[in-house]
Amino acid sequence: MSDLKSTAELLDRGLSSHEIRRRVLDGRLERVHPGYFMDARRYRELSPEQRVLAKQRAFARAAHVTPVFCLASAAVVHGLGLRRVPSRIHTVSPPERGTHHGYTSVVRHEAVLPASDIEAVEGLRVTTAERTLLDCARLLPFTDAVVLADQAHCVGVSRSRLEARLPQWAGQRGVRRARSVLAAMDPRAESVGETLTRLLLAESSLPMPRLQWVIEGRSGSYRADFAWPEHRLVLEFDGETKYAGAATLRTVLRDERRREVEIQELGWRVIRVGWNDVVHRPAATLARIDAALLRASSTS
């Protein structure tokens, strides 16, 4: 990331140590990692995942031993969406071979790691996508791991391949959880929010919907995130749009509204939920869906 500058690079540009400290204090520079900085305005424009990448790049430059990123830190490098972005950097090295680094923001894991499980992605050494997904399935909370497993096909990894490798960890921590994660994965999910919505519904007493259900409308096909065809009820997860440009956002909203009107003309009802509904108000969201299903049943 060219925006990332070390203290030495800033000094070479004519800034004194005092000026660097002053710019950090007055909010013009963002201290990404000890000895590494970014323009604060540029940093604020980054997504949470991009900020993590900036921190990992800074750490990789600062470390005496080139690190291998693992778990959620590796998932970010592979471009996978996460339920929650890691607050600390996770690295892996063989037992007795790594260093603690001395940073509280870095967690070093010990594991026997064959060379075939390491690759370079955009200049960073990480566990391969396959190994990353397996480690996350074993060691992350169930929901976080399923979110990643749903995206396995995006990085060219199949469920069968993941299942075939699990016996390597027989008797070790997390294998049972990993099997549950792989059993729950579904490549039809198109976003983190859709995965979280599906898992929320699966834990409830509500009937499970059909995923990616196609409805033929007046001007073409409409693919619903979730649908109960027998009740003519659609549930849509509204993804994050805060990083989209204004013109793009207007186009997306206009097209969504047009499709929604078309299927409503066919007698379907559409419920929309967002991140806060699913993550922070799950009980209220399930009650809302339940009420809609009951109304649909009473009118059918």
Q: Which residue has the tokens 């080139």?
A: 66
Per-chain mean pLDDT for the chain: 90
For the chain, the 3-state helix, strand and coil shares in percent, each to the nearest 5, are 50, 20, 30
For residue 8, pLDDT over 80 is answered with: yes
CATH topology for 192-299 is Endonuclease; Chain A (3.40.960)
Q: Specify burial of residue 282 (Cβ count, 10 A radius: 0-12, 13-18, 19+).
A: middle
Q: pLDDT tens across 131-161, in order?
A: 999 999 999 999 999 999 999 999 999 999 9
300 vs 291: CA distance, rounded Å = 14
90 vs 76: CA distance, rounded Å = 11
Q: pLDDT tens across 178-193, in order?
A: 999 999 999 999 999 9
CA pseudo-torsion sign 94, 98, 101, 104: positive
What are 270's strand-pairing partners?
234
For residue 219, pLDDT over 80 is answered with: no
* DSSP track, 104-152: TTEEEEE----GGGEEEETTEEEE-HHHHHHHHHHHS-HHHHHHHHTTG
Distances (CA, A) of 196 to 46, 190, 227, 241: 24, 11, 16, 17
% of residues, the chain, pLDDT over 70: 91
% of residues, the chain, pLDDT over 90: 77
For residue 246, pLDDT over 60 is answered with: no
257 vs 238: CA distance, rounded Å = 12
The boundaries of every CATH 3.40.960.10 domain in the chain are 192-299
What are 228's strand-pairing partners?
233
Query: What end-to-end distance do the CA atoms of the chain give, in Å?
Result: 57
- The 3-state DSSP class for residue 237 equals strand
61 vs 243: CA distance, rounded Å = 28
Q: Does pTM top 0.85 for this prediction?
A: yes
pLDDT at position 25 is 96
Q: pLDDT tens across 82-135, in order?
A: 999 999 999 999 887 655 556 888 999 999 899 999 999 999 999 999 999 999
Q: Which residues contact 176 (CB under 8 A, 6 or more apart)?
A: none
